[in-house]
C-alpha cells in the first residue's frame, strides 16, 4: 500500500476525500492510500474505513476492503462504486459479513444505496455422456461434473472433458484442440491413458515447479480432502461448483465441497492456495448458496495469515481456517 501519487490514483483519492467529507460532515484527518482495486481512507480513531473502487478493477475492491477492515479491527466499513452491477454483487456478499459493510453507488458527488444482486443460478446436474465414466475409470481419472460440464481430472487437473461435439482430451483448451487435430484418429481410451501418464509423472509430490505440478493447486487440495475427509473430522465430502467459473487453467479461484461431520452438521469446505484477496468474497457467496452449519477454509500452512483468519472470522457463520500440507510438498 502506498500514498496515492500517480495521476489516476490521485484523482481517485481526491474523489474519496470528497465522499468522506460528505459522509462525515468533516475534513478527514488522514490521507487516502492506494490499494488493489482502488483507494482507501483508514481512520483508526473513528473506527472506520471508506474504500472507493477503481473504475478499472472494481471487482477487487470488496475483498481488499474486508482484509483492511479485519487487519485494522475496524467496525465501520464503507465501499463506494461507480459500476452498479459490481456494487450489487458486493451488496449481496456484505449480508454475510458481521458487521456488514455499507455498499453505495457514486452519483456525481452524491451517494446512494444499492440493491443486492441475486445469486447466480446453478446449472442442474446432468447425466454423464454414455461411456464417459468408464473411459475415465479405465485411465485412473476422476470423473467430476462442475458448471454443467463433465470433466476427468488427475489430482484436480482436468485432462478430459465431454463436449457437445464429443470427447476432448488434453490439459487446457489449446491442448484439447491440438489433441483433436493430431490424435483424432486414435481410440479415446488410448489417447487418455497416454495423456494421463504424462500428467502423473509431473503432478506428484516433490515435482517442483513444472506447470503440471503447479496449476490449480486449490483443486488438488480439495481432491486430497475429498479422498480422505477424516483429515477434517468429516464423515463425507462432495465437490460443488465454485462461486465463480474460472476463465482458464491459470485463473485460480477458490474451490468448494459440502460435507457432513461426525455430529451430522452440514459443513462447507473452501480450498484456496496463495494470497487471494477474492477468497473471502467468494466464500461469502458460497455461504449464501449452501447455507452450511459451519465453514472450514483450508489453505497450505504457509498461507494461513492473521489478516485472512480475521477476515474469515467476520463471516456470519461458525468458521475455522486450517493450515494443511499440500500433496505437492
CA neighbours closer than 13 Å in the CB half-sphere of residue 4:
26
What is d(CA 123, CA 245) in angstroms, rounded to the nearest whole number? 12
pLDDT, position 9:
81
pLDDT, position 179:
53
pLDDT, position 124:
85
Give Cβ neighbours of residue 319 (< 8 Å, ≥ 6 apart). 294, 295, 296, 297, 312, 313
pLDDT, position 213:
93
pLDDT, position 219:
97
151 beta partners: 144, 161
Q: What share of the chain is helix, strand, coil (3-state, %, to 5)?
A: 35, 30, 35
Domain borders along the chain are 2-113, 132-202, 216-324
146 beta partners: 149
Q: To which residue does cell 489433441 refer?
A: 179
Backbone angles phi, psi at 224, to 5 degrees: -65, -40
What is d(CA 312, CA 304) in angstroms, rounded to the nearest whole number? 11
Residues 289-328 as b or e (16 or more Cβ within 10 Å = b) = bbebeebbbbbbeebeeeebbbbbebbebebebeebebbb
CA neighbours closer than 13 Å in the CB half-sphere of residue 251:
7
Q: Is the dihedral of CA 269, 271, 275, 277 positive or negative?
A: negative
Closest CA to 254 of 267, 239, 243: 243
Q: Nine-digit cell at 319? A: 468458521
Could you read off the pLDDT of 38-78 as tens digits, one per residue? Answer: 999 999 999 999 999 999 999 999 999 999 999 999 999 99
pLDDT, position 176:
56
The ranges of the chain with pLDDT < 70 are: 1-5, 173-185
What is d(CA 279, CA 218) in angstroms, rounded to the nearest whole number? 12
73 beta partners: none
SS3 270: strand
Backbone angles phi, psi at 194, to 5 degrees: -65, -45
pLDDT, position 317:
97
Closest CA to 296 of 265, 253, 329, 250: 265
Percentage of residues in the chain with pLDDT exceeding 70? 95
Q: What is the pTM of this model?
A: 0.91
Amino acid at each position: 500500500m502506498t500514498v496515492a501519487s500517480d495521476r489516476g490514483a490521485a484523482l481517485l483519492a481526491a474523489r474519496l476525500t470528497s465522499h468522506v467529507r460528505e459522509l462525515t460532515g468533516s475534513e478527514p484527518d488522514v490521507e487516502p492510500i492506494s490499494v488493489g482495486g482502488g483507494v482507501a481512507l483508514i481512520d483508526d480513531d473513528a473506527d472506520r474505513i471508506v474504500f472507493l473502487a477503481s473504475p478499472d478493477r472494481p471487482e477487487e475492491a470488496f475483498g481488499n476492503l474486508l482484509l483492511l477492515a479485519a487487519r485494522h479491527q475496524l467496525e465501520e466499513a464503507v465501499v463506494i462504486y461507480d459500476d452498479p452491477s459490481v456494487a450489487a454483487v458486493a451488496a449481496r456478499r456484505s449480508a454475510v459479513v458481521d458487521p456488514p459493510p455499507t455498499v453505495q453507488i457514486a452519483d456525481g458527488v452524491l451517494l446512494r444505496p444499492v440493491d443486492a444482486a441475486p445469486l447466480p443460478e446453478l446449472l442442474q446436474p446432468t447425466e454423464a455422456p454414455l461411456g464417459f465414466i468408464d473411459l475415465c475409470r479405465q485411465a485412473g481419472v476422476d470423473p467430476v461434473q462442475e458448471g454443467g460440464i463433465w470433466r476427468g481430472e488427475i489430482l484436480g487437473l482436468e485432462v478430459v472433458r465431454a463436449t457437445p461435439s464429443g470427447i476432448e482430451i488434453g490439459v487446457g483448451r489449446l491442448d484439447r484442440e491440438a489433441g483433436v487435430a493430431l490424435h483424432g484418429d486414435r481410440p479415446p481410451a488410448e489417447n487418455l491413458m497416454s495423456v494421463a501418464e504424462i500428467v502423473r509423472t509431473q503432478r506428484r509430490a516433490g515435482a517442483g515447479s513444472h506447470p503440471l505440478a503447479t496449476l490449480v493447486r486449490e483443486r488438488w487440495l480439495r481432491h486430497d480432502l475429498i479422498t480422505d475427509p477424516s483429515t477434517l473430522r468429516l464423515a463425507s465430502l462432495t465437490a460443488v461448483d465454485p462461486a465463480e467459473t474460472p476463465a482458464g487453467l491459470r485463473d485460480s479461484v477458490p474451490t468448494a465441497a459440502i460435507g457432513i461431520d461426525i455430529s451430522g452438521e452440514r459443513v462447507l469446505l473452501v480450498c484456496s492456495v496463495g494470497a487471494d484477496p477474492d477468497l473471502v468474497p467468494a466464500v461469502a457467496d458460497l455461504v449464501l448458496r449452501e447455507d452450511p452449519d459451519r465453514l472450514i477454509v483450508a489453505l497450505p500452512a504457509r498461507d494461513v495469515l492473521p489478516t485472512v483468519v480475521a477476515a474469515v472470522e467476520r463471516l456470519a457463520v461458525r468458521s475455522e481456517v486450517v493450515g494443511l500440507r499440500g500433496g505437492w510438498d
